[in-house]
Amino acid sequence: MAVLVMRYLQKARLLWSANFKRPFRRAARSSISAGETDEQIVEPQEVLERRAALFPSMGGKEIGPFLRKLAREAPSNTAIVEVGSWLGAGTAQLALGLRERGEDQSVRIHTFDRWIASKSEVEKASRKAGLQFSPGEDTLPWVTEALRPFGVGIEFVKGDIAAIDWAAGPVSVYIDDASKAPSRFYHVLRTFGPFWIPGVTVIVMMDYHYWEKSGSEEHKCQKYFMEAHSQYFAQIEGFRRASNAAFLYCKKFDFARLDFNTLLAPSGK
């Protein structure tokens, strides 16, 4: 029985990899460089678009055109930060946008996740894309390989959000699909906020309206933060899909003085 199950799992993975026209292989690397060519044929954009469409997604694919545009238009020598990549659906969209920049590959994606499959993620990966993972499995090797053909610079940072630090310079695009609880959200704000560029940085919060579904007070922390600091952020009108919202960082805010309490309750403004 165990042998049959193993064979089934291997077959399902190979089938998916075949769609990507590459054999599945585990990778220990934590970054991919722009223009990396080891055994890689650079594929035309339309082939990569088809690859990107195959990623199982919890929202990143659905807002693909928006993410692509942000990556395509990001100022040179800035970073794109994505917190909560899962299996790389949004990362692939960002990678398509980076490719559209042509020669200017000075923008790198830094994507953060624990990449440990939870039970519900295992179920979603199977249902959405026929992928077979086991609960507790390290999914980063799969994600790294799936994104390698895009041939753009991607840094993978594996671990808990609470342990994230940042020293890679100005951030022009910040996408968050994981920090919906106050402590984690406070940590990412303190970590990345000082690197946001007034008038430039776009913040995509994929769980901004999640509280409407969960009913949890905790999940309102992003909304409470934005409402309390509304003079520093402008909501991007017309952009809402599912739980998502996007904001332009307009004016410099001193994140060192961020008050945790502003994430816990309405500001009373």
Chain residues binding ligand SAM by CB under 6 A are 57-60, 84-86, 89-90, 113-114, 160-161, 177-178, 184
In whole angstroms, the minimum distance from the beta carbon of 149 to ligand SAM comes to 18
In whole angstroms, the minimum distance from the beta carbon of 82 to ligand SAM comes to 7
In whole angstroms, the minimum distance from the beta carbon of 222 to ligand SAM comes to 14
- The residues near 207 (Cβ < 8 Å, ≥ 6 apart) are 176, 177, 178, 179, 180, 219, 222, 243
In whole angstroms, the minimum distance from the beta carbon of 165 to ligand SAM comes to 13
Of 68 and 184, which has the nearer Cβ to ligand SAM?
A: 184
- Cβ pair 33, 153 in contact under 8 A: yes
In whole angstroms, the minimum distance from the beta carbon of 214 to ligand SAM comes to 13
Of 74 and 206, which has the nearer Cβ to ligand SAM?
A: 206
Position closest to ligand SAM via CB: 60
- Cβ pair 122, 4 in contact under 8 A: no
- Cβ pair 117, 137 in contact under 8 A: yes
Of 108 and 184, which has the nearer Cβ to ligand SAM?
A: 184
Of 86 and 247, which has the nearer Cβ to ligand SAM?
A: 86
Of 36 and 113, which has the nearer Cβ to ligand SAM?
A: 113
Residue carrying structure tokens 């590459």: 22
Structure tokens at 70: 């942000």
Of 69 and 229, which has the nearer Cβ to ligand SAM?
A: 69
Structure tokens at 156: 């993978």
- Cβ pair 184, 139 in contact under 8 A: no
Three-state DSSP state, 154: strand
**CA triple 142-161-111, angle to 5 deg:** 45
In whole angstroms, the minimum distance from the beta carbon of 269 to ligand SAM comes to 30
